C-alpha cells in the first residue's frame, strides 16, 4: 500500500462493530487516537486485503490532535505509541458466555524517514472493522479531535451507539454504578461514588462542549445510597436550528440560517420537530412521575408515547386558543 502521509483525515468516518466498541481495552488516549485515525482509513464495506497497512504521519497527528501543541510533542507521542500499541489487547464478548482476547494490531512500524507510524490490524480484529453490514456505529473522526480525556472518547462512542440504536429523538439509559464503570473500562477504578461522579462530570462536560452529543446526568438513590446513574442523550441541534427554534419558527431562511421550518412534517414519522419535542417531554414527565428505572420499560414508554402522540391534542388546543 502506498504511503499517504499528507491527507486530511478529519472528515473520514470511523466505523466499527458495536461488539468492538463496547469491548474492554486498555489503551491510553494517544493510542486510541492513533487507532481511530487508522480505522478511519478502512473501507468498512469491503474485506481488508492481506497485509494491508494503514499509516498516520506526525504531521497528520499534529493537525488532528495537537491544536495548541508543537510538532515535537506529536513526534514524541507517536513514537511512544509505536512502542506500546503492539502490546494492547481487547476483550470482546462473544455469544454463549465466551470471550475473545486479542491484540488490536499484528505489527507496528515507525518510519523515521517519513515520520509516520503504520499499523497492520490483527486477523481477529479485522471482522470488527471491515465487511460490516449491521450492528455497527460510525462517526466522523473530527468529532473526537478536541477530546483530551480517554473516558470522554469512550462515553462519546457509547452515546453515539445508543442513539443509533434508538427509534426516538433521544435515549435515556440507566445503569448501576459498577455497570457504568465496566462500560467505561474502569471497573477497578473510581470505587468511591465521589470519585466516579467527578470523573463522569468532567467527561460529560467535555463531551457537551466538544461534540454534537448532549448528555444530562442524574443520580438515583436506593434508600440512602447512590446506586444508579441516569444518562439522557441526544444530538445537539445545529446553531442555526437552535436560533430558528427560539424565534418560534419565524427566523428568516437565509444562507446564515439554512434550516428547515420546524413546523415541516418529517416524512418518516409524519411529525414536526416541535411535536417530537412535546411528545418526548410528556414521556419524560410520566417516567419521572412513576419513578421508572428499568431501561426496557422506559424505552417501551417512550415508544408508546410516540405511537399515541402524547400531549399533542392539548398543545394544538392551546395553540388555537392563543
CATH of the domain at 138: 1.10.10.10
C-alpha cell, 105: 494490531
Residues 178 and 224 in one domain: yes
Percent of the chain predicted with pLDDT > 70: 85
pLDDT of residue 250: 45
Does residue 138 share a domain with residue 18?
yes
Please indicate, yes or no, whether residues 138 and 151 belong to a single structural domain of this protein. Answer: no
Whether 137 and 186 have beta carbons less than 8 Å apart is answered as no
**Is the distance from CB of 84 to CB of 70 less than 8 angstroms?**
no
In sequence order, what are the beta bridge partners of 230? 174, 218
Decide if pLDDT at 254 tops 90: no
How many structural domains are present in the chain?
A: 3
DSSP 8-state code for residue 85: G
Give pLDDT, residue 210: 92
pLDDT higher than 80, residue 246:
no
Distance CA 231, CA 115 (A): 42
Domain assignment present for residue 102? The answer is yes
In this prediction, residue 168 carries a pLDDT of 75
| Structure confidence at residue 290 (pLDDT) | 75
Query: Do 150 and 134 share a structural domain?
Result: no
Q: Is residue 223 part of a domain?
A: yes
Angstrom distances, CA of residue 7 to CA of 49, 55, 60, 61: 21, 10, 7, 11
Percent pLDDT > 90 in the chain is 57
Same domain, 89 and 182: no
Report the pLDDT averaged over residues 169-195.
91
- Flag whether pLDDT at 215 surpasses 60: yes
Domain interval for residue 315: 259-322
Query: Do 84 and 196 share a structural domain?
Result: no
114 with 159, same domain: the answer is no
Identify any residues that bridge with 56 across adjacent strands, giving them in sequence order: 117
Of 142, 160, 182, the one marking the end of a domain is 142
> d(Cα 51, Cα 59) in Å, to the nearest integer?
24
**What are the pLDDT digits (tens) for 111-161?**
999 999 999 999 999 999 999 999 999 999 999 999 999 999 999 999 999
**Does 5 reside within a domain?**
no
Residues contacting residue 64 through CB under 8 Å, at least 6 positions apart: 9, 10, 33, 37, 141, 145
* CB contact at 8 A, 178 and 194: no
- Establish if 244 belongs to a structural domain: no
Using the 3D structure, point to which of 94, 114, 142 is the last residue of a domain.
Answer: 142
Q: Is the pLDDT of residue 265 over 70?
A: no
**Cα(169)–Cα(257) distance, rounded to whole angstroms?**
22
pLDDT of residue 70: 64
Q: Which residue has the cell 510533542?
A: 73
- Judgement on whether residues 207 and 315 belong to the same structural domain of the protein: no
Q: Are residues 228 and 291 in the same domain?
A: no
Domain termination residue (choose one: 123, 142, 161): 142
Joined together, the cell numbers standing for residue 186 give: 474502569
CA distance 57 to 66: 13
Identify the pLDDT of residue 164: 87
83 lies in the same domain as 28: yes
Does residue 58 belong to any structural domain of this protein? Answer: yes
Work out the average pLDDT over 4-22. 88
Note the pLDDT of residue 267.
41
**Mean of per-residue pLDDT scores for the chain:** 84
22 assigned to some structural domain: yes
pLDDT tier for residue 275 given thresholds of 50, 70 and 90: confident
66 with 102, same domain: the answer is yes
Q: What is the CA radius of gyration of the chain?
A: 22
Q: Answer whether residue 6 is part of any domain.
A: no
Q: Do 172 and 116 share a structural domain?
A: no
- Convert the pLDDT of each residue in 58-99 to its tens digit: 999 999 998 665 667 888 999 899 889 999 999 999 988 899
pLDDT for residue 192 is more than 60: yes
Answer yes or no: is 183 within a domain: yes
| Residue 221 three-state SS | strand
How far CA 222 is from CA of 79, 156, 194, 229, in Å, comes to 48, 28, 16, 11
Amino acid at each position: 500500500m502506498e504511503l499517504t502521509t499528507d491527507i486530511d483525515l478529519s472528515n473520514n468516518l470511523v466505523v466499527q462493530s458495536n461488539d468492538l466498541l463496547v469491548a474492554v481495552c486498555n489503551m491510553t488516549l494517544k493510542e486510541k487516537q492513533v487507532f481511530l485515525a487508522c480505522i478511519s482509513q478502512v473501507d468498512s464495506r469491503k474485506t481488508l486485503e492481506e497485509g494491508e497497512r494503514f499509516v498516520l504521519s506526525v504531521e497528520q497527528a499534529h493537525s488532528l490532535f495537537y491544536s495548541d501543541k508543537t510538532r515535537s510533542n506529536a513526534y514524541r507521542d507517536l513514537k511512544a505509541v509505536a512502542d506500546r500499541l503492539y502490546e494492547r489487547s481487547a476483550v470482546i464478548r462473544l455469544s454463549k458466555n465466551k470471550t475473545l482476547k486479542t491484540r488490536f494490531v499484528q505489527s507496528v512500524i515507525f518510519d523515521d524517514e517519513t515520520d509516520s507510524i503504520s499499523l497492520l490490524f490483527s486477523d481477529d480484529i479485522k471482522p470488527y472493522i471491515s465487511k460490516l453490514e449491521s450492528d455497527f456505529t460510525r462517526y466522523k473522526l473530527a468529532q473526537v479531535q478536541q477530546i483530551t480525556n480517554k473516558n470522554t472518547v469512550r462515553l462519546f462512542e457509547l452515546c453515539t451507539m445508543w442513539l443509533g440504536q434508538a427509534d426516538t429523538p433521544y435515549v435515556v439509559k440507566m445503569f448501576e454504578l459498577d455497570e457504568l464503570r465496566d462500560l467505561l473500562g474502569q471497573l477497578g477504578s473510581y470505587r468511591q461514588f465521589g470519585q466516579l461522579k467527578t470523573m463522569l462530570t468532567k467527561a460529560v462536560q467535555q463531551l457537551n462542549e466538544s461534540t454534537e452529543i448532549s448528555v444530562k446526568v442524574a443520580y438515583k438513590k436506593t434508600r440512602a445510597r447512590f446506586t444508579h446513574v441516569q444518562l439522557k442523550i441526544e444530538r445537539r441541534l445545529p446553531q442555526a436550528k437552535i436560533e430558528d427554534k427560539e424565534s418560534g419558527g419565524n427566523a428568516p431562511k437565509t444562507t446564515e440560517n439554512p434550516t428547515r421550518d420546524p413546523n415541516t412534517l418529517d416524512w418518516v414519522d409524519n411529525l414536526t420537530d416541535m411535536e417530537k419535542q412535546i411528545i418526548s417531554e410528556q414521556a419524560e414527565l410520566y417516567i419521572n412521575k412513576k419513578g421508572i428505572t428499568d431501561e426496557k420499560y422506559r424505552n417501551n414508554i417512550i415508544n408508546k408515547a410516540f405511537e399515541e402522540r402524547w400531549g399533542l391534542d392539548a398543545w394544538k388546543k392551546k395553540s388555537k386558543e392563543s
